[in-house]
Amino acid sequence: MSISLWRVSYALARRALRNSLRRPQFLAPLVIFPSLFLAVNVGGLHRSTDLPGFPAVHGFLDFQLAAALTQSLLLGGIAQGIAAALEIELGFFDRLAVAPIPRVAIVFGRLGATAVISAFQVAYFLILGLVFGAHVASGPGGALLTLVLGVLAGIGFGAIGQALALRARSAATLQGIFPLVFVILFISTAFFPRRLLESPIDTIARYNPLSYLADGIRNPIIATVDAKPVLEGLLAGGAITLFGVTVAVLALRGRLREA
Interface residue with another protein, options 53, 100, 179, 200 (CB under 8 A) = 100
Say how far apart CA 229 and CA 220 lie, in whole Å: 9
Long-range contacts from 27-34, C-beta under 8 angstroms, 24+ separation: 27/79, 27/117, 29/75, 29/79, 30/72, 30/75, 30/76, 30/79, 30/117, 30/121, 31/72, 31/121, 31/124, 31/125, 33/71, 33/72, 33/75, 34/68, 34/69, 34/71, 34/72, 34/75, 34/125
Site membership for another protein, residue 17 (CB under 8 A): no
Comparing CB distances to another protein, the nearer of 51 and 256 is: 256
Interface residue with another protein, options 5, 27, 96, 177 (CB under 8 A) = 96
For 80, 139, 218, the CA distances from 235, given in Å and listed in that order, are 23, 22, 15
Stretch that binds another protein, among 15-23, 143-151, 163-171, 205-213 (CB under 8 A): 15-23
Interface residue with another protein, options 90, 180, 242, 250 (CB under 8 A) = 90
Site membership for another protein, residue 75 (CB under 8 A): no
Site membership for another protein, residue 15 (CB under 8 A): yes
Interface residue with another protein, options 95, 195, 228, 253 (CB under 8 A) = 95
Q: Which residues sit at the interface with another protein, rule CB under 8 A?
A: 1-3, 7-8, 11-12, 15, 18-19, 22-23, 90-92, 94-101, 257, 259
